[in-house]
Chains A and B, each alone.
Chain A
Amino acid sequence: MRENLSKRLQRLQTDGKNIITPVHEHTGSSPAVGDAELANLGFDRLFDHVWCRTSTHELGADLSQRIGQYQRSGLILPDHPGPYVFFDAETTGLGVGAGTVAFLSGCGFLESDGVFRLHQYIMSDYPGEPAYLELLAGHLSPDVRIVSYNGKSFDTSVLTTRFLMNGIPWTRPSQLDLLYTVRRLYRTRIGRCNLGTVEEELLDIHRHMDIPGAEVPQRYFMFLETGAAELLKPVIAHHEQDIVSLVKLLVFVEDDLHRDHSERKADPVGMARHVVPVDVERAIRLLSPYVRPDYPFGDSRRAMVLQAGLLKRVGRTHEAVPLWRSLYRPGGSVTAGIELAKYFEHRAGKPDSALAICQEMCETSLESRVREALDHRIERLLRRVRDRTSDE
């Protein structure tokens, strides 16, 4: 039979140079970690292969105050007894599979005097991972609330896997993921919702010399190979900015929602939808300045559609009727037309008006499913109208 694997490999090295790069003599250890260089970047060595840097950022005393206030009355910042930890990680890949590692993690804390204190932990080689994770577990205890950007499906998912694979117990704390907030409130305004766009369009932050996120893993791998911490300098700066932006974004959103509607940037419909689960009446109030029956276009049109639905939901159908009326015209909103028909048939007791609307809608091109339902409705209305006529 065939010889063992080592022999095959040896042969490949001597005979088949085109297959796998030949094996060099290996000492088994990797290049020395750039201790001095990481120190130059302001990092302190905590354990083997684990480093930390703490930086502070003045965000202004009033900011802390506003945050305190928003915690009580805020729209997105729910009241939470524990501290908020602004968290973000840089990883070695985009997937959440078992082989992706979070090598750089940052935990930021907003202090009462408007000072933002950020701890950045770096794992300078794989064997440092357990100690590095223990440090993170210290900050990310079950009673805190994490504020992140796409942390729910990514950063903390990667962390969960890492804790598991290192046999360290960890309960994922609750989390406010601002990506979802931004998508809901600003997607119609800014299009793409990646953090870079958000900074440019909403926060007026313009990064210079920032590295593309896609370059991050390669720089880390090169650092591992060469020990040149200089390679990580832009990664660390990028990461720091990401977390500082998180705080600014949170405050921006709350400020925006507390502004008068004429100056507000947020999408009214997204905003109302955000509030609906907790307080429908508040959502109706938030929407009302945008609803302009005389101008059923753009934001106003979308606001009217939602507003009419909400009004119906809380039993104020009569208030919804004018909105449906301005939304409906032949070839216009089918939903509004049907709502009107329902209203006339069931509430106002005017089946002929309902029938007229339905027949009018039938003239236009409709999806087959909608048409079927409509035909059904017309049939029933015809019966009712006939019955009523014969009664008389």
Chain B
Amino acid sequence: MSDVGSVLEDLSRDPSFTDCVTRWEHMASVTGRYRDVPEDLSPRLKDLLEARGIDRLYTHQAEAYEAVRAGRHTIIVTPTASGKTWCYNLPVMQTILEHPEARALYLFPTKALSQDQQSELNESVIAGNLPVKVVTYDGDTPTSIRAAARTTGQIVISNPDMIHSGVLPNHPRWITFLKNLRFVVIDEVHTYRGVFGSHMTNVIRRLKRIAAFYGANPLFICSSATIGNPRELAERIIAEPLHLIDQSGAPRGEKHVILYNPPFVDRVQGIRRGVVLEARRLALEFLRRRVKTIVFSRSRTRTELIAAYINKTLANTYTDNGGIRVESYRGGYLPSERREIERGLRDGSIHGVVSTNALELGIDIGGLDVSISAGLPGAISSAWQQAGRAGRRNSLSASILVASSNPLDQYMVGNPDYFFGRSPEDGFVDPDNLFILGDHLKCAVFELPFSEEQPFPEGSRQLLHAIEETGVVRHTAGRFHWADRSYPAESISLRTATNDNVVIVDTTRGANSVIGEIDRASAKEELFDNAVYIHRGEQFIVTNLDIANRRCYVEQSQVNYYTDAIVKRDIKVLHEDESVVSGACRIVTGDILVRSQISKFKKIRYRTHENVGYGEISLPEEQMHTRACMIILEPTSPAGKSLEDLVPEAQPIVLGRLGSVIRNLAPVHLLCDRGDIGTAERLRDPHFDHPTVYVYDRYPGGVGLAETFTHKLLDILDACRTLVDSCACVDGCPSCVGPRNREEEIDANPKDAVSRLLSAWLSARPDRLSEE
């Protein structure tokens, strides 16, 4: 029996482990399906494959080769370690060998992935002695080699940010490259969703437009991890129909996937044993028997913590042979440090690694036997990505997902059918968000006077007329020209939710170092004067929030409380677009104006959650125009009635708890973070005259969350009910409706009331949302 097998065997006999397992799924091995190396492949590439020990291709690789060679835009969706990169490298290199003037652009979402691909291609080019020049062009490329990279690089590896701010605004320097641009490869296309994806879509529009100016019309090859709608998402981003290849021909060894919910420490308050210690304990079971193990954790601090704990324990037992090496891996390490760890994992000198999601994406670290997720990642698709890190082609592997007390984790671990049964979340983008589109139209005008709307959407001219009023573009003789001395791409970031960020500066003991960045609206809610701010496990106190200069000064502190702003939100409905009926309640999608005013904050003691004082905040009001889904609980509906039946004092509390459960669980169906959506609840809503829950997109103008939420509403409510009903706590806990707050002074148990409300609603549930 393999070592993995024997550890699993032991675990399955240990009741303290099995009692906590909510599902132990066994997946049989799958044999590989192969096809011959394509006949038209150049002998040099055939030799290369041979040199790398490949005598035939997996079916999906052969299929991708044929599709690309036939000139079809293609997307490949296959698991980790299925040889995805050959799917695009083979047809691209074949074309370059046939037509040396041809150029390809490879886009990766992170620099680490770019470097990984560069070294993989280098190995191929050297092994096959191929006349193909591969260069990386990103922020780290020295100025001295940039000019050569632009003109002679046949495969240029870069990232969307560099295309946006470096390449497109200077496209005349890239004329050789752009004129001959034949392929654009977008790897890990599933990472381009939400705000980042909406920006990416516009970057691709700009790229296509400039390529067309030079007479090029590139073919797109995308690869994606498994999400609910990879083809749809990629088609939206590149605006071309895609040929989908999602049947992997790669073999897969036998695998166990285990959902593990740590035991209760305090059942009444719903407190479970922490993921850090549980992950350490489980990882040691495997590492001690020299099973190669990866532990994923959600934060950088936890990564360091778990690795340190593991090494400390190992040092005690194994000081003499010291043979087991465990490293931590996260963003913020030097590239060379990372490369060394990756190499160690591949060659077997490192046995274990504790990582943030930095290793979730396709960096090559060879085969590992076991993955342990310390806390489920926010999305099912990510959970599978992490689980996919364990498993070689022919041997047994295991993945253990350890749940934290966060509601989303508790929902997933408590509903294994949901976890195993359904396809992962959908990714979505809204490239026509007026703010995002407006920003990219400015860039587009800078790059080339704007006359035709293609590939931008109809109505772009109208938006440009609006922008003309601000004086940065000029419309003359039917074309828009850039008419400002600034460089628009410079002030537009693809990654942050808004481009109006506050920088957090640590001034402890005279230091003056930037430790983070946060958008302005969140800064007001989290970094007001005297707020307690936790950064990578260290505690700081805000000495001064300087909104005007976008600076927040903090100092290290040791107080025993955290702070919570009391935010008064005022919502004004600007426009109702779409109205549907669900559970006899009216659901409206439309535009709202959210005004937030923060005037006070609470100081709350750690652990006991007692309120130990208040403080004043004086900050100007924050306004945001965005999209919302508005749920109106009319008294005639069962849900509305269930609310109305409560004592009046309990009503606002139950409505508030409902909002927070919805906010916690919405990411189950939307590929987004909890912080991407906001909720507001109003018992006597002045606009609708009935109790209303607003669920809104926290990006100005909305990026499609509100719409997607409306479509998934019933599923999300169902998930909410399941979570609340199945939670083992008595009075409500942080894992479901939130802990009972004695200050609220209500008799009714909010957990039961929330559950009744949800049941009432879902009992009146029609099969589908119906148009009003």
Query: Which residues from chain A sit less than 8 Å from chain B, CB to CB?
Result: 1-6, 8-9, 11-12, 15-16, 18-24, 26, 28-30, 92-99, 101, 125-127, 160-161, 164-165, 217-218, 221, 224-225
Cβ distance B162 to chain A, nearest Cβ, rounded Å: 14
CA distance A126 to B470 in the complex (A): 19
Bound together, the chains give a CA A289 to CA B479 distance in angstroms of 63
Once the chains bind, are A5 and B463 in contact (CB under 8 Å)? Answer: yes
In the bound complex, how far is the Cα of B446 from the Cα of A96, in angstroms? 11
Option from B487, B593, B625 in Cβ contact (under 8 Å) with A99: B487
Q: Whole-angstrom distance between the alpha carbons of A158 and B570 in the complex?
A: 51
Q: Is B483 an interface residue (CB 8 A)?
A: yes
B462–A97 touching, CB < 8 Å: no
Name B214's closest neighbour in chain A (CB-CB). Answer: A164
In angstroms, Cα B169 to Cα A95, docked, is: 10
Interchain Cβ contacts under 8 Å between A and B, 29 examples: A2-B704, A2-B707, A5-B457, A5-B460, A5-B463, A11-B574, A12-B625, A15-B574, A16-B574, A16-B593, A20-B434, A23-B465, A26-B468, A28-B478, A29-B477, A30-B474, A92-B482, A93-B486, A97-B169, A99-B482, A125-B477, A127-B476, A127-B477, A160-B172, A165-B448, A221-B471, A221-B483, A221-B484, A224-B483
A329 to chain B, nearest CB (A): 39
A26 touches B465 (CB 8 A): yes
A92 in contact with B476 given A4-B459, A20-B438, A21-B469 (CB within 8 Å): no
How far in angstroms is the closest Cβ of chain B from A49?
Answer: 9
Known: A2-B430, A18-B625. A23 touches B172 (CB 8 A): no
CB closest chain-A residue, reference B481: A126
Task: Give the Cβ gap from B653 to chain A, nearest Cβ, in Å.
Answer: 32
A15 near B475 with CB under 8 A, answer no
Do A6 and B459 touch (CB < 8 A)? yes
Separation in Å of the B438 CB from the closest CB of chain A? 7
* B170 with A125: CB separation less than 8 A: no
Task: Let me know if A18 and B623 touch, CB within 8 A.
Answer: yes
Distance in angstroms between the alpha carbons of A101 and B473 in the assembled complex: 13
Could you tell me if B447 and A5 are in contact, using CB atoms closer than 8 angstroms? no
Q: How far is the CA of A21 from the CA of B474 in the complex (A)?
A: 15
Known contacts A20-B466, A97-B169, A126-B479; is A11 also within 8 Å of B591 by CB?
Answer: yes
Contact mask for chain B residues 687-708; partner A; CB cutoff 8 A; 1 contact, 0 none: 0000000000000010010010
Cα separation A12 to B432 with both chains bound (whole Å)? 14
Additional A-B contacts beyond A5-B460, A26-B475 (17; CB < 8 A): A3-B577, A5-B462, A6-B459, A22-B469, A23-B462, A29-B477, A92-B482, A97-B169, A97-B170, A98-B170, A101-B481, A125-B477, A126-B476, A126-B481, A127-B476, A127-B479, A221-B484
- A5-B458, A5-B462, A23-B462 in contact; A28/B434 too (CB < 8 A)? no
Q: Once the chains bind, are B575 and A15 in contact (CB under 8 Å)?
A: yes
Partner of A30, one of B171, B457, B460, B476: B476
- Nearest residue (CB) in B for A4 is B459
Chain B residue numbers with a CB within 8 Å of A96 are 170
Nearest opposing residue in chain A for B490, CB measure: A95
B575 touches A99 (CB 8 A): no
- The reply to whether A30 and B445 contact each other, CB–CB distance below 8 Å, is no
Known: A160-B172, A164-B172. A217 touches B485 (CB 8 A): yes
Answer yes or no: B175 CB below 8 A from chain A CBs.
yes
Interface string of B400-431 (1 = CB under 8 A from A): 00000000000000000000000000000010
Quick check: A99 and B447 within 8 Å, CB to CB?
A: yes
Question: Which residues of chain B from 610 to 629 have any CB-CB distance to chain A below 8 Å in the complex?
Answer: 623, 625
A8–B434 contact, CB under 8 A?
yes
Q: Is the CB of A94 within 8 A of B485?
A: yes
Count of chain B residues near A, Cβ 8 A: 52
Q: Would you call B476 and A29 a contact (CB within 8 A)?
A: yes
Which residues of the partner chain A approach B593 to less than 8 Å between Cβ atoms?
A: 16
B449 at interface (Cβ–Cβ under 8 A)? Answer: yes
A9 and B463: CB pair below 8 A?
A: yes
| CA–CA, A196 and B358, complex, Å | 52
Taking CB as reference atom, which chain A residue is nearest B173?
Answer: A161
In the complex, what residues of B have CB within 8 A of residue A225's CB?
Answer: 471, 474
In the assembled complex, B494 has its CB within 8 A of some CB on chain A = no
Beta-carbon contact of A23 and B476 below 8 Å? no
The A interface is mostly helix, strand or loop, or mixed, namely loop
* Nearest CB in chain A to that of B471: its residue: A221
B658: Cβ under 8 A from any A Cβ: no
- A160 contacts which chain B residues (CB < 8 A)? 172
Asked if B437 is at the interface (CB within 8 A of a chain A CB), the reply is: yes
Whether the Cβ atoms of A98 and B625 lie closer than 8 Å is no
Which residue, of B434, B476, B574, has the highest number of chain A Cβ atoms within 10 A?
B476
- The CA of A217 and the CA of B471, in the complex, are separated in Å by 12
- Bound complex: CA of A99 vs CA of B465, how far in Å? 18
**Contact across chains for A97 and B487 when beta carbons are under 8 A apart:** yes
For A164, what are the chain B residues with a Cβ–Cβ distance below 8 Å? 172, 175
Across the interface, which residues of B come within 8 angstroms of A99, CB to CB?
A: 169, 445-447, 482, 487-488
Complex Cα distance A96/B471, Å? 21
Please give me the 6 A-B residue pairs with the lowest Cβ-Cβ distance, nearest first: A5-B459, A99-B446, A99-B482, A217-B485, A15-B574, A6-B459
For A8, what are the chain B residues with a Cβ–Cβ distance below 8 Å?
432, 434, 459
B466 CB contacts on chain A under 8 angstroms: 9, 20-23
Q: Please name all residues of chain A whose beta carbon is closer than 8 Å to the beta carbon of B437 when the two chains form the complex.
A: 5
Chain A residues in 8 Å Cβ range of B704: 2
Given contacts A6-B462, A21-B469, contact A11 B485 (CB under 8 A): no
A127-B477, A165-B448 known; A19 vs B625 contact (CB < 8 Å): yes
Most buried by B among A1, A2, A96, A101: A2
Which residue of the partner chain A has the closest CB to B474? A224
Given the interface pairs A4-B459, A9-B434, the reply to whether A98 lies near B469 with Cβ below 8 Å is: no
- Bound-complex Cα distance A221 to B625 (A): 31
Which of B445, B458, B469, B477 gathers most chain A CB within 10 Å?
B477
Name B446's closest neighbour in chain A (CB-CB).
A99
The smallest C-beta distance from B452 to any residue of chain A, in angstroms, reads: 15
**Chain A residues in 8 Å Cβ range of B486:** 93
- The reply to whether B458 and A23 contact each other, CB–CB distance below 8 Å, is no
Q: Is the CB of B169 within 8 A of A98?
A: yes
Q: Smallest CB–CB gap between A205 and chain B, Å?
A: 26
Q: Chain B nearest CB: distance from A221 CB in Å?
A: 5
Q: Are B459 and A9 in contact (CB under 8 A)?
A: yes
Which of B434, B460, B470, B485 sits near A218, CB closer than 8 Å? B485
CB distance from A223 to the nearest CB of B (A): 11
- A residues in contact with B470, CB < 8 Å: 20-21
Set A19, A30, A217: member contacting B434, Cβ < 8 A:
A19
A4: chain B residues at CB < 8 Å are 457-459
Chain A residues contacting B477 (CB-CB under 8 Å) are 29, 125-127
Residues of chain A lying within 8 A (CB to CB) of residue B434? 5, 8-9, 12, 19-20
A94–B471 Cα distance when bound, in Å, is 18
Contact check, A98 vs B172: say whether CB atoms are below 8 A apart: yes
- Residue on B with the closest CB to A24? B469
Q: Give complex CA distance A21, B438 in Å.
A: 12
The residue that A11 contacts in the complex, of B430, B471, B575, with Cβ under 8 A, is B575
CB-CB < 8 A to A218: which residues of B? Answer: 485
The chain A residue with its CB closest to the CB of B453 is A5
| B430 cross-chain contacts in A, Cβ below 8 A | 2
Smallest Cβ distance from B229 to chain A, in angstroms?
Answer: 14
Q: How far is the CB of A212 from chain B (nearest CB, A)?
A: 13
In the bound assembly, the distance between CA atoms of A127 and B478 in angstroms comes to 10
Smallest CB gap from A92: residue in B: B485
Nearest B-chain residue to A2, judged by Cβ: B707
Q: Which residues of A contact B458 (CB under 8 A)?
A: 4-6
Q: Quick one: closest B residue to A31, CB to CB?
A: B476
Q: A101 to B707, alpha carbons, bound, how many Å?
A: 42
- Beta-carbon contact of B623 and A30 below 8 Å: no
Contacts of B475 in A (CB 8 A): 26, 28, 30
The answer to whether B446 touches A23 (Cβ under 8 A) is: no
- Say yes or no: A9 contacts B474, CB within 8 Å: no
Contacts of B485 in A (CB 8 A): 92-94, 217-218
Also in contact, A15 and B469, with CB within 8 A (given A1-B707, A26-B475): no
Q: Which B residue sits closest to A14, measured CB to CB? A: B575
